[in-house]
Chain A
Amino acid sequence: MAKLLEIREQIKSVYSRLEWILIPVGKLILAGIVLMVLNNRMGYMIRIDNGMIVLLAALMCAFLPTGAILLFATLFAMLHLYALSLEVAVLGLVVFLLIYLLYLRFAPGESLVVVGTALLCAWKMPYMVPIVMGLVGSAASAVSVACGVLAFGFLDIVTDNATNISTMADEETLVKLRMVVDALLANRQMMALALIFAATTIVVYLIRRLSIEHAWTIAIVAGLIFDMVMLLVADLFYDLELSFLNIFLVSLLSFVVAMVLQFFRFCVDYGRTERVQFEDDEYYYYVKAIPKMMMPQSSRTVKRINQTRHGAMVTGRVGRRGSVEEETGTEEDYEEFHQEFARRNSGRSASVLDDDGGFGFESFEDVRPAGSRYRSASGSGRTRYAGMDDDYTSRPEGRDADDAGDGDGAGDYEELF
């Protein structure tokens, strides 16, 4: 567990350091996938079924707000629908406008959920969405999930009826419209999935917010069971033709994904739960505090060993978190360290000294053999390691060893840290 926690901290650290590039790249990839899936499934307009156009649109999405992905996906879908039939395009416009006007206007941040749900529906993995959104979203996410299912359902119906629509004459506008509307209203699978997913999202959300131990795990398991039972019941009553093997496998995958999510978002140590009780003028407080599982990340510090202004060489131990240690050791120990150090700095023999006359390297603990010791010899105007070549402790020309300000290398050693 400790190793996992350490890895988590490392991942978080990397993410926070590279967030500026990871987010645009993530948006680029998501937009690219969404647009490619749309092109593959629909592809009625040849002109936009083109890798360069997809790439261009995805690039724009990468630098625009997240809502741009939904906007571009809608635009692509509308163009394909228009190429298929004007009536279907008008109907599509009405469906998308209704989703925007009635819901997304209030929750613009949820546009990604709508896109994600539709995408996972296309990949036949929509059962994952309500569990994940119940854990990381809010109660409103239930509507987003339902909207995603409805949007996908509409496009799926059009795709299924595309051959019939395209063979009809242009004058049969009413027939085309009726065909799609009838199919939309008769699509019980879509309606059932939208309702069940919305209900599952709310169930997971409500349970994970309860003040009980292992609330997240209980929410995940309860959500999966609720989801599967409801789908089974709906299939029995309405004959939805669902594949239960697929549902079971995706539910297992959802469990894994949800547990990973829990590890990153809600990893607490119930064993160290504290209950405190106190009062102020107006209230009594009964507080339950559960500490998060944390593993301090081992950090490497890079310190430079520079000459002082007065020319004396000042060295110090470079270690984790900048701790200072004065150590003594044997010549053999140092030889080992020295070889390792020289190996790591191969090609820098003379250039170990940088422009400032100092040199920098990663933690001594990395280059120094375990248990080795080194000695700081001071008082001669320069501090040097026992056995160290003069190359590494050279003084500036024209400077005497005792020109180190106070002529005390050891003192400077202390000052540095």
Chain B
Amino acid sequence: MLNEERIALMTRMASYEAGEGKRNMQIGRFFRGDYVAIQVLKSFVSATISFLMIFAIYVYYNLESFMEELYEIDLLAFARDILTKYAWFVGVYIVIAYIVCTVKYAHSRRNLHAYYNNLKKLGHMYQK
């Protein structure tokens, strides 16, 4: 005998598993701290690459003036200036990434919690 309630629940769960659930399960495998740390690390790498690319374009764009003033500019001050900008860029990006990842993790856990509850409910339905 078909149980409509059970079929509806299973369909909903299957739909979740195929879509958002797949991503959520990947996130759910980690502890919150681990997940956020990995994402922040990835963000650090991304931000560094991005900054380097922008810096390379900046240097190339100003190549002529750099070549002319190479012996006149204070390289130490210049490096300090660039590193400060780099720290700001990476710092702001990592803070944003931290907030995004924390929210994402909480959202995934909440959805997974509902999914596991449904799984239990389904188990009870089969036991009846």
Contacts and interface: CB of A to CB of B under 8 A. Distances in A.
B57 A91 contact: yes
Given A94-B57, A174-B63, A178-B61, A101 B100 contact: no
Contacts of A106: 97, 100
B47 interface: yes
A97 B53 contact: yes
Interface residues of B, number: 16
A228 to B, nearest CB: 31
A130 to B, nearest CB: 21
Majority SS at the chain B contact face: helix
A101 B60 contact: no
A98 B49 CA distance: 9
Contacts of B47: 101-102
Contacts of B84: none
A144 to B, nearest CB: 14
B53 A94 contact: yes
B117 interface: no
Interface string A58-94: 0000000000000000000000000000000001001
Given A91-B57, A105-B46, 13 more contacts: A94-B53, A94-B54, A94-B57, A97-B53, A98-B53, A101-B46, A101-B49, A102-B50, A105-B42, A174-B60, A177-B57, A177-B61, A181-B61
Interface of A: 91, 94, 97-98, 101-102, 105-106, 174, 177-178, 181
A-B pairs, top 9 by smallest CB distance, nearest first, are A101-B46, A94-B53, A101-B50, A98-B50, A102-B50, A181-B61, A106-B100, A94-B57, A101-B49
11 contacts: A91-B57, A94-B54, A97-B49, A98-B53, A101-B49, A102-B93, A105-B46, A174-B61, A174-B63, A174-B64, A177-B57
